[in-house]
Amino acid sequence: MAIRAEAGGTFGNPVLAGFHPDPSVCRVGDDYYLVCSSFEYFPGIPVFHSRDLVHWTQIGNVLDRPSQLRIPPDAPSSGGIYAPTLRHHDGRFWLVVTNVSGGGNLLVTAADPAGPWSEPTMLPGVGGIDPDLAWDEDGTCWCTVAGVSQVRIDPYTGQTLGPQQPVWSGTPGAQAPEAPHLYRIGGHWYLLIAEGGTERGHSVSVARGSEPNGPFEPCPANPVLTHRGTGRPIQNTGHADLVQAPDGSWWMVLLGVRPRGGTPGWHVLGRETFLAPVTWADGWPVVGEVAPATAAPPWPLQPWPAEPVRDDFDLAQLHPRWISPRHRPARDVTTGERAGWLTLHARGDSLDRTDTAFAGRRQQHLACDVRTLADPAEGRGGLAVRLDEDHHYEIEATPGQVAVLARVGPLRTAVAIREVPAGPVVLALRVRPQPPGDARTGPDTLAFGTEDADGVFTELAALDGRYLSTEVAGGFTGRVIGMYAAAGTVHFDWFDYRHADG
């Protein structure tokens, strides 16, 4: 990642690597706060803080209590929480979002974005997904959703104040007008949307009007951002939000992907958060380059915060980066049972099940090394790379044996089995990008194995990473790497995730 700390240097994109899609950002004073979609994972909606829009530190999750987030055990992967909008108004933080797997649109508030956040206020009269909030000069709150339609609401009660009305359908012929954000800038109201679908045709368009409910005049240069039809290394650019810095400059956060390998290109980390500068011409936003190395903001970048790569599970609560599919009962995923260890009690008997006990973190690097010390004396479990129930690889330990398992669509197989000494075992994963080859070259290779007391890695199997990609599996998420239990109880002493050259 190319970063130089002086003003006028460069920073590296993405600014939030890995499965961090649908970013929404707001600024309060010199502080920026950003949230992303979390889909079927609990806790929901990670919250990040920055002082320079480039370096982000996770400070919590918005929906971190079961009473706030209900995703049914049988809800499909890529369901759950879609497209939050974060805003600061009248001294409080407001967040509106859609739970497509239960309840629809909801709103929560907080005095501190690190939490705690309120219990949800439901919005039963607001139809559609990707809700946005904006307040006009007289305090009226406008909620705009994909489609694009709009309704006035009472944000304290969730009640609608009139009918929901269409306001703009986007560019004629473009599919999926979604991700609306409404802003008062100068003498106009600007309506920013994504359209073209969240795949290679994704784009950002904008319209403006004199009132928050239009009528809206589309920008003659629409789309103001798209990478469709290009060979740029960042693709699927869209679902954006605007923010103004204290110096008056404007910036855009957006999602994009980094496809690798041959045709059609596979992105394995999910949709990530990127940053681009914005200027204005004739009253319209002009989006600058979205590139791996981009001109830095005209203010000094803050020192990069120390982000732990190893977790020894010495604290009573897991770090907010740890996520689990659908729910995470404290009795099944706990650091309180064996001091300094994470203990998982099995529910489902494999990662094919929607209720398997699993705790993981997002894969954030195209090349990484991951290790954990597992004690399977009381059960069966191990280290896994998960995309969904139908697409995952794992190295699984039982007393005296390890096996590499692969699930790809309807096929499930034991790729390799090896005897190991009885007792705790270090399970290891090495992810490396594939060098350029022919059109059939996959994006990366995942090598699973064990490590001995001297740190020597013994590979059991190397698997093609294309089968754990969105282009194969479908859906909206990215890879999550973590620990699981499929039978009995499995203890994990530590988990180590490190960026590797590659």
**Under 8 Å between Cβ of 194 and 240:** yes
Nearest to 193 by CA among 138, 140, 149, 162: 149
Whether residue 116 has a cis bond before it, omega within 30° of 0: yes
Place of tokens 């890695």: 457
What whole-number distance in Å separates Cα of residue 113 and Cα of residue 103? 23
The residue from 52, 178, 311, 396 that is catalytic is 178
Phi and psi based region of residue 314 (left: phi greater than 0; alpha: psi -120 to 50; beta: remaining):
alpha
CA distance 479 to 443: 13
178 is catalytic: yes
In order, the DSSP letters of 358-392 are EEEEE---SSEEEEEEEEEEEEEEEEEEEEETTEE
Q: Which of 246, 335, 248, 250 is nearest to 284 (CA)?
A: 250
Annotation says 22 is catalytic: yes
The angle at the Cα of 105, spanning 35 to 20, to the nearest 5 degrees, equals 25
What is the four-CA torsion angle of 91, 58, 277, 480, rounded to 10 degrees? Answer: -140
β-strand pairing of 217-218 with 391-398:
unpaired
Residues 278, 286: contact at Cβ < 8 Å? Answer: yes
Residues 18 and 255: their CA atoms lie apart, in Å, by 11
* Residue 247: both structure tokens together: 């110096």
Please answer whether residues 464 and 445 qualify as being in contact, where contact means their C-beta atoms are separated by less than 8 angstroms: yes
Q: For residue 329, which amino acid is it?
A: P
**Backbone dihedral region for residue 494 (phi beyond 0: left; psi -120 to 50: alpha; all else: beta):** beta
Q: Is 393 in contact with 406 (CB distance < 8 Å)?
A: yes
**What's the distance, CA 382 to chain centroid?**
24
Whether 292 contacts 233, CB under 8 Å: yes
What is the DSSP secondary-structure string of 245-310? -TTS-EEEEEEEE--BSSSS-B--S-SEEEEEEEEEETTEEEE----SEEEPPSSPPPPPP----E
Cβ atoms < 10 Å from Cβ of 257: 30
Q: Give ∠ CA 71-321-107 in degrees, rounded to 5.
A: 45
What is the token pair recorded at 238?
């869209």
* Residue 194: C-alpha distances to residues 35, 326, 395, 500 (Å): 17, 27, 39, 34
Catalytic hit among 22, 64, 130, 464: 22
Cα–chain-centroid distance for residue 393? 20
**Residues annotated as part of the active site:** 22, 178
